[in-house]
């Protein structure tokens, strides 16, 4: 073999930004941003140090939760949260069905499509907590405002995914049913429903899970549920009760996740 001088060094070529100057500029930009961002964080170290004690108390409370002394409050909050979750999911799904179908390009006429897409956009753009603030102001404190908030949020979530599902269905099946002379409602019933039903059930269960988690949050702004109880417990520095509430939330979410994954497997 003739001796060929192969190079003895090799650098990995840059993969994303190939131009050297751009790369340096981007790296520099990131550094400058991080420096600026960190400098805006004013930390009162004395306060943090003072808080470490309370933080430790919280950890202890979490490890030795107190379910009993505030049990009536916890039970009330939990009942509100759970009932709120279920009713809002049912109502939300029921309203999502027509809106989801209306927001599917392949089924709905143009004006209906734009209207439904508009509703979805509004529902998704607004944070649950902000919606809850407004609804509490209108309907008064308590779980009814929470129920409305979660129903409203469910509509945006479910209609969008449902509409995307319907748009993704096999067009051949729709045409086959349409070719038999079926009406619009019959097309929806025979060609669309069987294809999206399993996903719809799965999404509804998933939303049930999300609604429970959210129900713990909107209570902070007065919309009832376990969040309100938690807020009170933290305000009173009762970390053992707060720990108990958090553990209950975690346990319910775990059970819901486990249960819904099983139910989905069973239904499909």
- Specify the residue, 83 or 112, whose C-beta has the smaller distance to another protein: 83
The minimum distance between CB 109 and another protein, in angstroms, equals: 27
CA atoms within 13 A on the CB side of 145: 25
- The burial class, CB within 10 Å (0-12 / 13-18 / 19+), for 108 is buried
The minimum distance between CB 135 and another protein, in angstroms, equals: 8
243, 61 contact by CB (below 8 A): yes
The minimum distance between CB 84 and another protein, in angstroms, equals: 6
Those residues whose C-beta lies under 8 Å from the C-beta of residue 155, and which sit 6 or more positions away, are 92, 95, 96, 99, 119, 120, 123
- Specify the residue, 112 or 133, whose C-beta has the smaller distance to another protein: 133
The minimum distance between CB 83 and another protein, in angstroms, equals: 4
The minimum distance between CB 32 and another protein, in angstroms, equals: 13
The minimum distance between CB 16 and another protein, in angstroms, equals: 8
219, 74 contact by CB (below 8 A): no
- Specify the residue, 71 or 237, whose C-beta has the smaller distance to another protein: 237
- The burial class, CB within 10 Å (0-12 / 13-18 / 19+), for 201 is middle
- Specify the residue, 122 or 171, whose C-beta has the smaller distance to another protein: 122
**Nearest-angstrom CA–CA distance, 242 and 24:** 48
Angle (nearest 5°) at CA 86 between 83 and 92: 130
**Nearest-angstrom CA–CA distance, 97 and 12:** 52
Question: What is the contact surface with another protein in residues (CB under 8 A)?
Answer: 4, 6-13, 15-16, 33, 37-38, 40-44, 47-48, 50-51, 54-55, 58, 79-80, 82-84, 86-87, 90, 125, 127, 129-130, 133-134, 137-140, 142-144, 147, 213-214, 216-217, 220-221, 227, 230-231, 234-235, 237, 242, 246, 249-250, 253-254, 257
**Nearest-angstrom CA–CA distance, 157 and 208:** 11
- Specify the residue, 18 or 21, whose C-beta has the smaller distance to another protein: 18
- Specify the residue, 91 or 112, whose C-beta has the smaller distance to another protein: 91
């Amino acid at each position: 073999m003739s001796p060929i001088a192969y190079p003895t060094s090799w650098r990995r070529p840059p993969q994303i930004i190939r131009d050297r100057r751009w790369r340096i500029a981007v790296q520099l930009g990131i550094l400058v941003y991080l420096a600026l961002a960190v400098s805006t964080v004013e930390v009162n170290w004395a306060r943090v140090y003072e808080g470490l004690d309370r933080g430790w108390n919280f950890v202890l409370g979490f490890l030795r939760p107190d379910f009993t002394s505030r049990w009536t409050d916890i039970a009330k909050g939990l009942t509100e949260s759970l009932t709120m979750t279920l009713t809002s999911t049912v109502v939300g799904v029921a309203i999502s069905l027509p809106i989801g179908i209306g927001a599917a390009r392949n089924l709905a006429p143009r004006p209906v499509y734009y209207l439904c897409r508009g509703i979805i956009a509004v529902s998704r753009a607004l944070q649950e907590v902000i919606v809850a603030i407004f609804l509490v102001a209108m309907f008064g404190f308590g779980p009814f405002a929470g129920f409305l908030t979660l129903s409203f949020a469910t509509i945006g979530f479910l209609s969008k995914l449902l509409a995307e599902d319907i748009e993704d269905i096999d067009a051949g099946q729709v045409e086959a049913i349409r070719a038999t002379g079926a009406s619009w409602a019959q097309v929806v019933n025979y060609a669309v429903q069987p294809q999206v039903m399993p996903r719809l059930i799965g999404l509804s269960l998933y939303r049930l899970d999300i609604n429970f988690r959210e129900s713990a949050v909107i209570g902070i702004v007065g919309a009832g549920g376990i969040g309100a109880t938690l807020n009170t417990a933290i305000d009173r520095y009762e970390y053992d009760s707060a720990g108990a509430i958090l553990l209950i939330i975690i346990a319910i979410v775990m059970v819901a996740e486990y249960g819904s994954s099983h139910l989905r497997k069973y239904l499909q």
